[in-house]
Amino acid sequence: MSVEEYLYLIILPILALSILLIFVRFLIGPSLSDRVVALDLLVTCGTGIIAVYSIYTNQSDFLDIAMIFALIAFLGTVAFSYYLEKREKNE
């Protein structure tokens, strides 16, 4: 089995299943923090899917998109932590 077949037949279904499970956690998360962590994990798995697709199709342009996607997710997490810090000071 080649690397491309391994990525396509094993890694992508595992990532798809993990996205479904994370999305369920995103929907039923009891607190806002749980939902933000689930959203960050969704973006991380999406970045992984983009990276696997980039390797499978042998197009490196998708890796740039995945990197930008990950940076935007990181900035969103930082903004949320800043929001939590300000909210705790006001209470």
Can you list the domains of the chain with their CATH numbers?
3-90 (1.10.287)
User: What was the pLDDT predicted at 38?
Assistant: 92
User: What was the pLDDT predicted at 1?
Assistant: 80
Q: Is the dihedral of CA 11, 56, 39, 26 positive or negative?
A: negative
- As a whole number of angstroms, the distance between CA 66 and CA 86 comes to 30
**Which amino acid is residue 18, in one-letter code?**
S
User: What was the pLDDT predicted at 89?
Assistant: 78
User: What was the pLDDT predicted at 8?
Assistant: 82
Instruction: Output the tens digit of pLDDT for each of the chain's 91 residues.
Output: 887 788 888 999 999 999 999 999 999 988 888 888 899 999 999 999 999 999 888 898 999 999 999 999 999 989 988 988 888 777 7
- As a whole number of angstroms, the distance between CA 12 and CA 16 comes to 6
User: What was the pLDDT predicted at 23?
Assistant: 94
Contact call for residues 54 and 60 (beta carbons, < 8 A): yes
Residue 60 exposed, middle or buried by CB count within 10 Å (0-12, 13-18, 19+): exposed
